[in-house]
Amino acid sequence: MVVRHNRPDVVETMAKCSAVPVINAMTSESHPCEILSDLYAISKMREDYLALQYTFVGPCGNIGKTWLEAARALGLRFRQCGPKGKGYDMPGVEVVHELDAAMQGSDVVLTDSLPREALDDFRPYQITLNAMRRANGNAMLNPCPPFCRGEEVSAEVIGSPFFVGYGFKAALLSVQQALIVYLLGR
């Protein structure tokens, strides 16, 4: 059973009461299938994907939390970037409050859709072509859809070679089918 529900407790209750596996397709706290698919796509593009520097630019939300969980499980170098003192920091992770500093050394730059109330706070953290040029030479930009040009990312960077978002999403179906086949075999 594949469940996409805002409340994690509902998904957990369903899993406890179900005779079949329950796949968390997304909650307000996590988005594991999306991140699993992104990691698979990165592994196909970069053999050394476990050694890359992952930089998440955004508030503490389901995408950032799930990337942090994946980083802990796989030993990835992961950091967050966002405004200081606004309550956006994820606990237990390196947080860089200056975008220029965060971009230096980054191999994979990650974003999430911004909630309306965070738009003004994150305006100086928009990922632009100039920001990506401060990252490592072959850095990748992977904004989580739906991304909004002019909010978390600029229109120009979406048209650049840094952007890999659409190619990454092509892996979603294969990865999720593999997950279902794996769970059915258990």
Q: What is the mean pLDDT of residues 6-23?
A: 94
* Mean pLDDT of the 124-133 span: 98
pLDDT at residue number 148? 85
Whether the pLDDT of residue 72 is over 80: the answer is yes
Walk me through the domains of the chain, giving residue ranges and CATH numbers: 47-171 (3.40.50.1370)
User: What pLDDT score was predicted for residue 16?
Assistant: 96
* 57 close to 101: Cβ distance less than 8 angstroms: no
Instruction: Answer with the residue of higher pLDDT: 180 or 170.
Output: 180
* pLDDT band with cut points at 50, 70 and 90 for residue 170: confident
At 184, the pLDDT band (50, 70, 90 cuts) reads confident
CA distance 44 to 71: 18
DSSP state at residue 5: -
**Contact (Cβ atoms closer than 8 angstroms) between residue 107 and residue 121:** no
Q: Is the pLDDT of residue 80 over 90?
A: yes
Mean pLDDT of the chain: 94
Give me the pLDDT at residue 133, please. 98
pLDDT at 166 over 80: no
Mean pLDDT value of segment 34-41: 95
Could you identify the residue written with the tokens 């003004």? 120
Cβ partners under 8 Å of residue 146, min gap 6: 113
Q: How many CA atoms lie within 13 A of 105 on its CB side?
A: 8
87: left (phi over 0), alpha (psi -120 to 50) or beta: left
Q: d(Cα 176, Cα 37) in Å, to the nearest integer?
A: 8
Q: Dump pLDDT digits (tens) for 82-114.
A: 999 999 999 999 999 999 999 999 999 999 999
Cβ(16)–Cβ(37) below 8 Å: no
pLDDT of residue 161: 94
pLDDT tier at 145 (50, 70, 90 boundaries)? confident
Predicted confidence at residue 165, as pLDDT, reads 73
Closest CA to 78 of 110, 48, 101, 46: 110
The dihedral formed by the CA atoms of 171, 23, 67 and 60, expressed in degrees to the nearest 10: 130
| Residues 6 or more apart in contact with residue 75 via CB below 8 angstroms | 50
What is residue 167's predicted lDDT score, i.e. its pLDDT? 74
Would you state the pLDDT for residue 73? Answer: 98
Length of the chain: 186
